[in-house]
Structure 1
């Protein structure tokens, strides 16, 4: 019993380390998003940090249109980055879960 507990604790610590490594790696994963017509382009990391915004000259003529484009495109970029971030972290966390009898049954249903 005690040996099993130590094994589980070590596995949990290893998983925490892998989660932290994954978080650091996600800071370097770049995702590009753009408006439907390509006039606004955004580059964001999977950890949801905006790295670059490119705005076509024609959008600079209309402040309201530019603001709408920014809101829509940034929200799309953040949503996509969140999906990637959560999927990557969930995969690492699931991989590192200790094998506790009956746990999968509880989690799945």
Structure 2
């Protein structure tokens, strides 16, 4: 019985390590979002860290820039969130021990 418990604890540690490795890898995945037909562009990592903001010189209306920036950021962050959730769920499922009746990731 304790052999099984030791094995499960090892698998849980493996799962935790895979999740941490996945989080580190997500910092290298860049996602772009844009608004105003590309006049405002943002780049974020899959861990939702803003890396770049580009605003076209043809925009001069302060309120328009703010609105487009919000749209572009939300667009990029939504994409980043989807990638992050998918990758972390896969890493967690991959490393979880097979416990009968405990299918947490369907």
Q: Distance in 1 between matches of 2:28 and 2:105?
A: 32
Residues 58-81 of structure 1 show CA distances to partners (whole Å, capped at 9, x for unaligned) of 22x100100000111111111111
Aligned to 1:31: 31
**What TM-score does the superposition give when structure 1 sets the normalisation length?**
0.91
Q: 1:107 to 1:46 in 2, by over 3 A?
A: closer
RMSD, aligned α-carbons: 1.4
Q: Which runs of 5+ in 2 are unaligned?
A: none
Residue 11 of structure 2 corresponds to residue 11 of structure 1: yes
Q: Distance in 2 between matches of 1:27 and 1:107?
A: 24
Q: Which runs of 5+ in 1 are unaligned?
A: none
- Runs of 4+ in structure 1 off by over 6 angstroms are none
Q: Distance in 1 between matches of 2:75 and 2:44?
A: 10
Q: Distance in 1 between matches of 2:27 and 2:16?
A: 17
1:107 Cα offset (Å): 6.2
Aligned to 2:66: 67
**What TM-score does the superposition give when structure 2 sets the normalisation length?**
0.93
Hey, which of these two has a bigger chunk of helix by percent? 1
